[in-house]
Amino acid sequence: MTETEQNRTQHPEETLAPSRRTTKRGGGDPAGRGRTTIADGVVEKIAGMAARDVVGVHTMGSGISRTFGAVKERVPGTSKSVTRGVKAEVGEVQTALDLEIVVDYGVSIADVARAVRENVVAAVERMTGLEVVEVNIAVSDVKLPEEEEEEPEQPRIQ
């Protein structure tokens, strides 16, 4: 075996064309290169959707925010705000949430609050990787069966 042939067997990448040579750049795990930040609004949307999925949660937000939201939703091109009634404080590795909910009459508020916490924590931690340190829940109202819905009427002119 000639010296050139020995060299090829010991260092095969050197005999490849320049475009096929393997080069290590940056070193380390690619997942560790750079930083990911998650906006408060992202966590608020995830938490809002997770809270609304719980049976017994009628709606989210205080009476005033629901009224403003109903007016805003009448504007063409706007959609229902999933962040209504949700406030998030997001750090680098942890988040804390405040939720304001309206529950249906007849449900156990303690059970609904527990289910909301569990659902919100699971969804936020699974989707963001952030640790949820607390979920504070304020029950601002109870929806009675005979109460009218606060949803706006359909516009007469389309």
CA end-to-end span of the chain: 86
Q: Mind listing the pLDDT tens digit for each residue in 73-115?
A: 555 655 558 899 999 999 999 999 999 999 999 999 999 999 9
Going by C-alpha positions, the residue among 38, 26, 30, 7 that lies closest to residue 125 is 38
Q: What confidence category does residue 65 fall into, taking pLDDT thresholds of 50, 70 and 90?
A: very low
Q: Mind listing the pLDDT tens digit for each residue in 52-61?
A: 999 999 999 9
Helix, strand or coil, per DSSP, at residue 86: strand
* Residue matched to tokens 């050139």: 4
Q: What is the pLDDT of residue 156?
A: 45
Query: CB of 33 within 8 A of CB of 26?
Result: yes
130: Cβ contacts below 8 Å, ≥ 6 apart: 38, 43, 90, 91, 93, 94, 95, 124
Q: Mind listing the pLDDT tens digit for each residue in 119-156?
A: 999 999 999 999 999 999 999 999 998 876 655 444 54
pLDDT at 15 over 90: no
pTM: 0.68
Query: CB of 54 within 8 A of CB of 139?
Result: no
Q: What is the pLDDT of residue 153?
A: 47
